Amino acid sequence: MPEGFRAPRIDPGPAIAALSARFGKALSTNATIRDQHGHDESWHPTAPPDAVLFAETTEDVAQAVRLCAAYGLPVVPFGTGTSLEGGPQALHGGLCIDLSRMNRILRVDTEDMDCTVEAGVTRMQLNTHLRDTGLFFPIDPGADASIGGMAATRASGTNAVRYGTMREAVLGLNAVLADGSIVHTGGRARKSAAGYDLTRLLVGSEGTLGIITEVTLRLHGVPEAMAAAVCPFPSLCSAVNTVIETIQMGVPMARIELLDDVQIDAVNRYAKSDYAVAPTLFLEFHGSETGIREQAETVAGIAGNHGGAAFQWATAPEDRRRLWQARHDALYACLGLRPNCRPWPTDVCVPISRLADCILETKADLAGTPIPGPIVGHVGDGNFHVCFVLDPNDPAEVAEVRRLSDRLVRRALAMGGTCTGEHGIGCGKIEYLQDEHHDGLLVMQSIKRALDPNNLLNPGKVLTVLPANP
Amino acid sequence: MPEGFRAPRIDPGPAIAALSARFGKALSTNATIRDQHGHDESWHPTAPPDAVLFAETTEDVAQAVRLCAAYGLPVVPFGTGTSLEGGPQALHGGLCIDLSRMNRILRVDTEDMDCTVEAGVTRMQLNTHLRDTGLFFPIDPGADASIGGMAATRASGTNAVRYGTMREAVLGLNAVLADGSIVHTGGRARKSAAGYDLTRLLVGSEGTLGIITEVTLRLHGVPEAMAAAVCPFPSLCSAVNTVIETIQMGVPMARIELLDDVQIDAVNRYAKSDYAVAPTLFLEFHGSETGIREQAETVAGIAGNHGGAAFQWATAPEDRRRLWQARHDALYACLGLRPNCRPWPTDVCVPISRLADCILETKADLAGTPIPGPIVGHVGDGNFHVCFVLDPNDPAEVAEVRRLSDRLVRRALAMGGTCTGEHGIGCGKIEYLQDEHHDGLLVMQSIKRALDPNNLLNPGKVLTVLPANP
């Protein structure tokens, strides 16, 4: 991992002793706990931190960061460990700050349709809490991730085509900066033209500019009516073209998800379902009763023109839940294809006009490899995933997946897309940030140096930093 | 104007001579042209630049900035001069870069519903160009502003409640930084988790971090049906509560604008219309024929419960155009109230639950002053404006408006709002940025110092900068 200005690891002993004196039992150096905090759900090798702090308050985080800064010890934040590009790996050792005990929902305002939560609150916890308010938090990356982690990685997921990503959902936040100061960004007004958009700068910075400890979120009203449907197609191309036309018609889809034949087969095995093994769209409509009928008629018409089968409807809440559970279990279903293997999920996002080309070229690439790589996608956004299932201990397999993944990213970039639509850069895609952003990377490095001059916050992630005055 | 680290003006002569040698007749030092570029549409006094460059290309801008950087001459960008907080005033002299000749529409993609334009393209020019594509660019701040200026000020306007602000509309941009380098940010994918969000950092930075020269915009499909309506209310409170309930019901309003009795009276005089002189909502619905009928019924029901009159409909394009022209001419209508006076338009934005309180307290404040201050608002966002009409040469009037405006901003901040929803900070609201953002201001200053260490870009705007090493 290239890392310009981090010297060989410092001896963490003195810093850990000082942290231990301050935090007592909330600090752990237990090997199992350190290991649990040294990886995410991806194939990236575990890199345990030197210690784990279970923070209870923003002030805990601030004090811990101040102590680490004094000793030069790196700090890595940890939410639920469900990221997919090696976000929590402590590549240079240091302190992992686990935010899961900061799980208080501080405020819900039904009139303003917003709330403020601590970073460790998970999205399902929040939605359970909101159940009787008529509101919900729509961003849904699949995993029951923490809100802080979702903000830090600019998460999105199945509902983003209608409700946006964390970029749109976060109204403001509290974060602890590299010097241990606490900054509050944004506010509760729906829009503001007051100064630089620090909220958007921190959202997606993956813990490298600050540790997010509180988030104010925009919520949405539960729609009057919701209906979900499944529709298999004769070819990937016909399914993707259905999506493109639907988006271009302006149908306000709540969800429009593609699963290729390989993924459907994996889902059937895992969930014991009997979906036709074919490229398939999972759809969801939100609106008034009339509204969703109108939307569904439009989309059914488009799908029919492309050879799609009749919609299989799920309108009862329990049926809808089961349908989306099948979609959300895609990662685990993939793993079921090869026992004792690990997932290497990668994602790209392209302008929707290039989506069919991008998926079809990728599919052709995958035809030439024995390693399973099911495709699922939030295709309404032009975003799709390949989830390779590999033996991470087999160097040939790792090399092969790296080659295929590299070709996928370069294909997406050549089509005007991005190297990651929602998984983030972590330590897995650093090399592509330069290819995508060119001189923009220099600006990102300037900002990183300005806000974290000693490269203490999650070093080795997102970007390689060079010293300002070497 | 407090300005930490700008020494007394340098002699612009050598820099102007070098610029003149490079740019010939595209550079002007004509007094009238300099004066025209030294102010916007607000009351802020004119501060002319030392010279004006009519740039034709991004490379022109880059070369000019490099020359200015070499000589230490400040650079101020200029679009259409329709800003409202003293954005283009050359407070420290320097070079004004007028971008109006960079008015090429570089690309429109109907499949991806996006386009790329040069910074000097105006929003009306773009919409005229899009006329036959089935697409439109929704952001509408009233004035026919340039897209570059709208991005730089994070503009929004009447349609923001449905389509968002420039924060959501800008997919990517090209900007020239303080050292004359050209940076490209963002991309054409609808979402990305690749690195820091430089696009959102530059949007709203008001020319203090970079000069925006090209913008890639998200476009929207022209709705199948559109209808506008006007509805007077017995009181401000009933009108505002109608808005709050409408938003809370999730009705996807395209526009929901409030004009108070003073503003309606001004509009009637200016546009020779005969709207009832009462607090009034101007509404617009976008959707399918069925959809807008459904929306309109819901809103009419809410309005009726609050004592609103029957809707006066405008469905023919010409009638809708006339209705919104009356709304857009609000500023000029205000000026008609006091010939030979200047406008001091100010805006705040609060959580919608506090909107009625904020407007009513403001109205009570205004009752005690002889200076006219009509209220108009994009109330669906919690955003409203007071447009004071004053004699800027009368110190007592300036002091009185400053007092009322200060009370308005502090009221909004106390209610959890922002000191400006859409006009920006410019040189008019610098003191409030600290009150609103506290330690966030330090972070903004760090970023400014990192990207513009010599404070060359639009100095004296948005924030006061202190030297890193005094």
CATH of the domain at A76: 3.30.43.10
Indicate whether B131 and B217 sit together in one domain.
yes
Residue B3 confidence (pLDDT): 44
Check B244 against A111: CB less than 8 A apart: yes
Does residue A291 fall inside a structural domain?
yes
Does residue B335 fall inside a structural domain?
yes
Interface A:B, Cβ pairs < 8 A = 276
pLDDT (tens digit per residue) in A147-205:
999 999 999 999 999 999 999 999 999 999 999 999 999 999 999 999 999 999 999 99
Residue A2 confidence (pLDDT): 40
Check A436 against B165: CB less than 8 A apart: no
**Total number of domains in chain B:** 3
Contacts with A, B 48-87, CB within 8 Å = none
CA distance A62 to chain B (A): 14
Whether the CB of A469 is below 8 Å from some CB of chain B: the reply is no
Does residue A466 fall inside a structural domain?
no
CA distance B241 to chain A (A): 11
Exposure string for A190-217, b = 16+ CB within 10 A, e = fewer:
bbbbbbbbbbbbbbbbbbbbbbbbbbbb
pLDDT (tens digit per residue) in A320-344:
998 998 888 888 899 998 988 999 9
Rounded Cα distance between A436 and A392, Å, is 27
Indicate whether B236 and B316 sit together in one domain.
yes
Choose the final residue of a domain: B57, B81, B100: B100
Q: What Å distances lie between residue B60 and B67, B107, B182, B238, B397, CA to CA?
A: 11, 21, 11, 53, 43
Residue A470 confidence (pLDDT): 40
| Structure tokens belonging to residue B12 | 């612009």
Exposure string for B358-382, b = 16+ CB within 10 A, e = fewer:
bbeebbebbeeeebbbbbbbbbbbb
The contacts of residue A69 (CB under 8 Å, 6+ apart) are A178, A179, A180, A454, A456
Indicate whether A109 and A171 sit together in one domain.
yes
Choose the final residue of a domain: A43, A69, A100: A100
Check B194 against A288: CB less than 8 A apart: no
Whether complex ipTM tops 0.90? yes
Q: Which domain CATH number covers B144?
A: 3.30.465.10
Write out residues in chain B with pLDDT < 70, as ranges: 1-8, 466-470
Check A209 against B192: CB less than 8 A apart: no
Question: What residues of A are in contact with residue B181 (Cβ under 8 Å)?
Answer: 439, 442
Check B352 against A190: CB less than 8 A apart: yes
Indicate whether A368 and A261 sit together in one domain.
yes
Among A166, A192, A410, most B C-beta atoms within 10 A, so best to mutate, is A192
Q: Which domain CATH number covers A376?
A: 3.40.462.10
Indicate whether B272 and B377 sit together in one domain.
yes
Indicate whether B278 and B415 sit together in one domain.
yes
Indicate whether A158 and A70 sit together in one domain.
no
Whether the CB of B429 is below 8 Å from some CB of chain A: the reply is yes
Does residue B470 fall inside a structural domain?
no
Does residue A459 fall inside a structural domain?
no
CA distance B146 to chain A (A): 17
Range of the domain at B129: 105-221
Helix axes A439-451, A430-437, angle to 10 degrees: 120
pLDDT (tens digit per residue) in A260-278:
999 999 999 999 999 999 9
Residue A328 confidence (pLDDT): 87
Indicate whether A282 and A146 sit together in one domain.
no
Does residue B375 fall inside a structural domain?
yes
Contacts with B, A 196-255, CB within 8 Å = 196-198, 200-201, 203-205, 209, 220-221, 223, 244, 248-250
Indicate whether A199 and A294 sit together in one domain.
no
Q: CA-based diameter of chain A, in Å? A: 69
Choose the final residue of a domain: A100, A121, A150: A100
Nearest to residue A338, comparing CAs of A403, A390, A262?
A: A390
What would you report as the CA-atom Rg of chain A, rounded to the nearest whole angstrom?
A: 22
Which one of A181, A416, A463 has the shortest CB-CB distance to B188? A416
Rounded Cα distance between A378 and B218, Å, is 19
Contacts with A, B 372-391, CB within 8 Å = 381-383
Check A351 against B463: CB less than 8 A apart: no
Check B191 against A221: CB less than 8 A apart: no
Question: What residues of A are in contact with residue B196 (Cβ under 8 Å)?
Answer: 201, 204-205, 209, 443-444, 447, 462
Residue B14 confidence (pLDDT): 97
Indicate whether B161 and B77 sit together in one domain.
no
Exposure string for B418-452, b = 16+ CB within 10 A, e = fewer:
bbbbbbbbbbbbbebbeebbeebbbbbbbbbbbbb
Kindly tell me if the per-residue pLDDT of A3 is higher than 50: no
Question: What residues of B are in contact with residue A350 (Cβ under 8 Å)?
Answer: 189
Nearest to residue B230, comparing CAs of B274, B165, B192?
A: B274
Q: What integer is the mean pLDDT of A405-430?
A: 97
Would you say A124 and A341 are in contact if contact means Cβ atoms under 8 Å apart? no
Question: What residues of A are in contact with residue B221 (Cβ under 8 Å)?
Answer: 248-250
Which one of A184, A248, A443 has the shortest CB-CB distance to B440? A184
CA distance A324 to chain B (A): 22
Q: To the nearest whole percent, how much of chain A has pLDDT over 90?
A: 90
Does residue A367 fall inside a structural domain?
yes
Rounded Cα distance between A420 and A349, Å, is 6
pLDDT (tens digit per residue) in B185-203:
999 999 999 999 999 999 9
Whether the CB of B98 is below 8 Å from some CB of chain A: the reply is no
Does residue A22 fall inside a structural domain?
yes
| Structure tokens belonging to residue A414 | 């050549």
For chain A, give the mean pLDDT.
94
Question: What residues of A are in contact with residue B169 (Cβ under 8 Å)?
Answer: none
pTM score: 0.96
Rounded Cα distance between A77 and A202, Å, is 14
Indicate whether A204 and A269 sit together in one domain.
no
Whether the CB of B446 is below 8 Å from some CB of chain A: the reply is yes
Q: Are strands B375-378 and B383-390 parallel, antiparallel or unpaired?
A: antiparallel
Least confident of A4-13, A384-393, B393-402: A4-13
Indicate whether B93 and B121 sit together in one domain.
no
pLDDT (tens digit per residue) in A74-91:
999 999 999 999 999 999
Check A153 against B438: CB less than 8 A apart: no
